[in-house]
Structure 1
Amino acid sequence: MPSAAGAGAAGAVADRLLGPKERRRLAIVLVGLPARGKTFTAAKLTRYLRWLGHDTKHFNVGKYRRLKHGCTQNADFFRSDNQEGIDARNEVAALAMDDMLSWMDEGGQVGVFDATNSTKLRRKMLLTMAEGKCQVIFLETICKDPAVIDQNIRLKIRKSPDYADQPDYEAALADFKARLVNYSKAYEPVDEGSYIKMIDMVSEQDGQMQVNNISGYLPGRIVFFLVNTHLTPRPILLTRHGESMFNLNGRIGGDPELSATGDIYATKLASFVHKRLKSQHSASIWTSTLRRTILTATHITGFPKVQWRALDEIDAGICDGMTYEEIKETMPDEYQSRKLDKLRYRYPRGESYLDVIQRLEPVIVELERQRSPVVVVAHQAILRSLYAYFTDKPLDEIPHIEMPLHTIIEIQMGVPGVQEKRYKLL
């Protein structure tokens, strides 16, 4: 596995993988009518790219509009024949674009520009501003399902700061629908430049993706990620294996069996999973290939089980089976190097956390692709890395995330974003 040891910045993983012609600044410019999942998609893509080590920032133009003009504009502000409103909206879009380009000048790599950008004139303005400064890819989200649109509209009313001071829900709903009509009248689908179109991606059967003039490593990874994402809500349950014999002795790595306490947890975990997922039509149980995770999941029945080698614990190399006290005594330099930088430190003949993140990327993509619940029974370093993806934790924090034994972390995936619950079973 290529080395990531000694990298000097959180973007080390990305820099290692990008070729010289592709190491460039990239703007992902969202396009779409309101309530089509743009912000949801922008936030998810930002989280994914950050997790891989790319310096990525989400620029939401709606926030700029509210800062400049307040939160009280009604639907008339968004009319296509309201030149004053058009000029005001273009002004804040230009402000956001200026900020994004300035951020790139300071070292930022990928800017995710979140707005409707629903006319060719607006998109031409953004392309002109970006010319010679960054590559631009338009990402258009299209939804034709009335039920999904209605659900998104109602969520928007409850969550948007635009309606935080509007106590009358029905009045807010009527105003937002009028805003949507105004945008629809002027909407021009993307057919220029480099673009990705996501069409009805909430539907497994009808979802489509169209791609035009996309090339390069990073744009290719973005397409691959997006084609596997959707809006279907479902829970993902993360848990460490039950206590192992190595846990009792403070040893790392290895392939030990469970302790008596670990066996009890395996029974309690099965009971919890059966109760929590009994109403689900389907679900799956994922473990590593190591005994302690397989044994922890052994009492869970009625669901397919998949063993992932990618979920195996971080490879401790020549330190496998040792305690940290033994490492400190026999390899003080290694012990100190790990203490100074746990993210980038690689065990001799083993792995670093950055290496773990790279091998977990297929797991993340598959978790995003799944439309049914998934229970992941894995190891501390693995779950720290997965949890950091879902919660958008900075890379440097990953090795220090608390991941207690005998605890289930439920991640709820869906349009409202990522929500978390914890259940301590022992």
Structure 2
Amino acid sequence: MSIYLIRHTAPLIEKGTCYGQADIDIKDSFFDEAAIIKTVIPVEFRQVWSSPLQRCRKLAEHLFPTCPINLERKLKEINCGEWELQKWDDIPSHIIDPWMKDYVNVRIPGGENYIDVYDRAVDSFLNIASGETPVAIVTHGGVIRSILAHITGTPLLDSFKAFAIHYGCVIRVSRNADGFIHEVLSNIPTSKEQHKPSPK
């Protein structure tokens, strides 16, 4: 049983911009990044699942041109609600501070918290894992981190430190007698990311 978790390649967006479910396109480096992914995944898959956002869908279609792509809304990144496409540094501190202090439980205004992402991501993963494999899941950093937190028993609050998920990351999940194990196949830092306000 093998499930390949694949994070999308670098998105076409200015560093320091808050984005989650905004449907952002991909950078010109897409083909180079996708070529690296191809070196660590099998040639054939029984099924392919993808977030419907284009930065994932385009990668899935490129990697698996002969395989039908199952688009799954539960595999979307966190919903950033009112903060979508705002600069992190432009969000007033009195609004963002409660979330920064407890992003696991505090919801972004009009959006989600980390538990919301975790619940839907794990539900989708377990459903996919019950089917035929090998299977590929092309998705986002928050979703992959949620799945890894689930299979390793890592508290959500500790998951960002526990799992570095760079653009184009590929992780293989397998089942053993005790549950699931994972192996990082590729995780090359390609560009510096910023998903919070700049330090003051």
Give the equivalent residue in structure 1 for 2:143.
382
Contact 1:283 1:304 in 2 (8 A): no
CA separation of 1:347 and 1:306: change in aligned 2, threshold 3 A: same
Give the equivalent residue in structure 2 for 1:244.
11
Give the equivalent residue in structure 2 for 1:423.
185
Give the equivalent residue in structure 2 for 1:394.
155
CA separation of 1:263 and 1:235: change in aligned 2, threshold 3 A: same
Displacement of 1:378 in angstroms is: 0.8
* Within-5 A mapping of 1:23-422: 234-246=1-13, 248-251=14-17, 252-253=19-20, 254-273=22-41, 276-278=42-44, 282-299=45-62, 300-327=64-91, 331-400=92-161, 401-415=163-177, 417-422=179-184
Displacement of 1:394 in angstroms is: 1.6
For residues 185-223 of structure 1, the C-alpha deviation after alignment (integer angstroms, 9 at most, x for no partner) is xxxxxxxxxxxxxxxxxxxxxxxxxxxxxxxxxxxxxxx
Q: Residue 286 of structure 1 aligns to a residue in which SS?
A: strand
Displacement of 1:383 in angstroms is: 1.3
Q: Residue 238 of structure 1 aligns to a residue in which SS?
A: strand
2: CA distance, partners of 1:362 / 1:419 = 18
RMSD: 2.1
Radius of gyration: which is bigger?
1
CA separation of 1:420 and 1:361: change in aligned 2, threshold 3 A: closer
2: CA distance, partners of 1:419 / 1:256 = 32
Contact 2:77 2:142 in 1 (8 A): yes
Q: Residue 372 of structure 1 aligns to a residue in which SS?
A: coil
CA separation of 1:394 and 1:343: change in aligned 2, threshold 3 A: same
Contact 2:122 2:150 in 1 (8 A): no
Q: TM-score, normalised by structure 2?
A: 0.81
Displacement of 1:296 in angstroms is: 1.4
Q: Which stretch of the first structure deviates more once superposed, 344-353 or 358-367?
A: 358-367
Which one-letter code corresponds to 1:250 in the other structure? G
2: CA distance, partners of 1:292 / 1:368 = 23
Higher relative contact order structure (alpha carbons within 8 Å, sequence separation ≥ 6): 2
Give the equivalent residue in structure 1 for 2:194.
none
Displacement of 1:361 in angstroms is: 4.3
2: CA distance, partners of 1:277 / 1:421 = 18
Q: Residue 109 of structure 2 aligns to a residue in which SS?
A: coil
Contact 1:241 1:262 in 2 (8 A): no
Give the equivalent residue in structure 1 for 2:192.
none
Which one-letter code corresponds to 1:412 in the other structure? S
Displacement of 1:291 in angstroms is: 0.5
Contact 2:171 2:182 in 1 (8 A): yes
Q: Residue 116 of structure 2 aligns to a residue in which SS?
A: helix
Q: Name structure 1 gaps, 5 residues minimum.
A: 1-233
1: CA distance, partners of 2:66 / 2:176 = 25
1: CA distance, partners of 2:53 / 2:187 = 22
CA separation of 1:414 and 1:303: change in aligned 2, threshold 3 A: farther
Displacement of 1:358 in angstroms is: 2.6
Contact 2:122 2:146 in 1 (8 A): no
Q: Which has the higher helix share?
A: 1
Contact 1:256 1:292 in 2 (8 A): yes
Which one-letter code corresponds to 1:337 in the other structure? P
Q: Name structure 2 gaps, 5 residues minimum.
A: 189-200
**Matched positions, count:** 184
- Which 4+ stretches in 1 moved above 6 angstroms? none
Q: TM-score, normalised by structure 1?
A: 0.40
